[in-house]
């Protein structure tokens, strides 16, 4: 629902019928209007329906109790952390989440919470957004370094995103200061604006590291290809998402150093180095500075599981099919179409 339309706005998107609804006669705030509800009921007379919602720790599940049995609900975790044990939200999710048809998660913390509250294992699936491997491809590092005005001999890590502590940008700066005297090492920072959400903005631009403002998406392959590895010590306990930027780096055949490698449901040994806690971030980054060249199959391995146009879509379709057919032999694909 959107307040800027007065009547349902229809548009074809990738051959699918999309509708933006007016923000009127709201049944559930920011989620469902009366007109949307009537349309779901009308469609359910002749169709099985899956409602796939983009948030996990939300009240969307309430819809289940007002819809026919052939309307199934899928929830996707796109960020956020589980509620505190014993809170009202925790009680609500314990009573309701086990009854959805499927849940996809991004973080181990979300997965562990779902297991703890009794969501059946066969309903829980790891499903990141995935990267566009057609868009992000490897090419000559020296060419793009000259284009961006970067030193040809420096070992560069890269970070892409907002400059705040939630994503552990403070740790990236600590790593840089700890290692810059010992190695010809720096970090390429891409993103950030001078506002309250980027609370390390001044620290980044005054660090001496190369810094680039937020870029158009089509320009991002240059920045990933200019680097030697992606640095992502996302250890802040309040960070509940998964950044697509490090998957884009993998598509450009750049290894990753991150705790989020542990979220993957396949062997990530070809993709980079896992960080488990703050005590090892400097040591493991130092190892990566000296050994990043050993990772030669980042793109090849990641594409099998993290290509948003093939592997991710194949897995999503498989989840949908399981909901209505429940065929135990219908296993999720481990690679792209």
Residue by residue, pLDDT tens for the chain (337 residues) are 999 999 999 999 888 899 999 999 998 888 899 999 999 999 999 999 999 999 999 888 888 888 999 999 999 998 888 999 999 999 999 999 999 999 999 989 999 999 999 999 999 999 998 999 999 999 999 999 999 999 999 999 999 998 888 889 999 999 999 999 999 999 999 997 766 566 788 899 899 999 999 899 999 999 999 999 999 998 888 887 888 999 999 999 999 999 999 999 999 999 999 999 999 999 999 999 999 999 999 999 999 999 999 999 999 999 999 998 764 444 444 433 2
For 133, residues 6+ apart whose C-beta sits below 8 A from its C-beta are 251, 299, 303, 307, 308, 309, 310
72 and 106 share one domain: yes
73 and 163 share one domain: no
91 phi, psi to nearest 5 deg: -60, -40
Count of helix runs (H) and strand runs (E) in the chain:
11, 14
End-to-end CA gap in the chain: 34
203 and 91 share one domain: no
Domain, as residue range, for 31: 9-129+310-325
CB-based contact 66:45 (threshold 8 Å): no
CB-based contact 168:236 (threshold 8 Å): yes
160 and 120 share one domain: no
| Nearest alpha carbon to residue 244 among 175, 163, 161, 173 | 161
Report the pLDDT value the prediction gives residue 31, as an integer from 0 to 100.
87
150 and 257 share one domain: yes
Give the total number of structural domains in the chain. 2
CB-based contact 201:193 (threshold 8 Å): yes
Q: State the Cα angle at 320 between 319 and 324, rounded to 5°.
A: 115
Report the pLDDT value the prediction gives residue 165, as an integer from 0 to 100.
87
255 and 319 share one domain: no
CB-based contact 304:287 (threshold 8 Å): no
16 and 45 share one domain: yes
184 and 41 share one domain: no
274 and 294 share one domain: yes
């Amino acid at each position: 629902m959107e307040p800027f339309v007065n009547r349902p706005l229809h548009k074809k998107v990738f051959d699918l019928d999309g509708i933006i609804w007016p923000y009127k006669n709201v049944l559930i705030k920011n989620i469902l209007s009366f007109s949307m509800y009537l349309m779901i009921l009308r469609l359910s007379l002749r169709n099985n329906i899956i409602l796939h919602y983009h948030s996990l720790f939300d009240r969307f599940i309430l819809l289940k109790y007002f819809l026919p049995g052939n309307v199934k609900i899928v929830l996707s975790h796109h960020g956020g952390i589980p509620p505190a044990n014993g809170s009202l939200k925790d009680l609500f999710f314990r009573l309701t989440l086990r009854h959805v048809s499927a849940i996809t998660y991004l973080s181990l913390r979300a997965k562990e919470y779902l297991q703890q509250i009794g969501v059946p294992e066969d309903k829980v699936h790891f499903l990141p957004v995935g990267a566009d491997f057609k868009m992000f491809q490897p090419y000559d590092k020296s060419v793009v370094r000259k284009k961006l005005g970067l030193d040809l001999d420096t070992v560069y890590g890269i970070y892409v995103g907002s400059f705040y502590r939630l994503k552990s940008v403070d740790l990236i700066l600590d790593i840089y200061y700890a290692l810059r005297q010992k190695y010809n090492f720096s970090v390429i920072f891409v993103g950030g604006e001078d506002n309250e959400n980027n609370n390390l903005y001044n620290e980044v631009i005054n660090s001496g590291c190369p810094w680039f403002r937020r870029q158009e998406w089509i320009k991002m392959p240059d920045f990933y290809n200019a680097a030697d590895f992606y640095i992502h010590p996302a250890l802040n306990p309040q960070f509940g998402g998964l950044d697509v930027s490090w998957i884009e780096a993998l598509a450009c055949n750049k290894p990753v150093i991150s705790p989020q490698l542990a979220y993957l449901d396949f062997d990530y040994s070809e993709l980079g180095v896992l960080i488990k806690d703050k005590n090892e971030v400097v040591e493991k980054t130092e190892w990566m500075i000296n050994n990043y060249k050993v990772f030669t199959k980042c793109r090849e391995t990641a594409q099998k599981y993290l290509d948003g146009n093939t592997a991710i879509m194949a897995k999503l379709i498989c989840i949908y099919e399981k909901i209505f057919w429940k065929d135990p032999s219908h296993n999720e694909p481990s690679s792209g179409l």
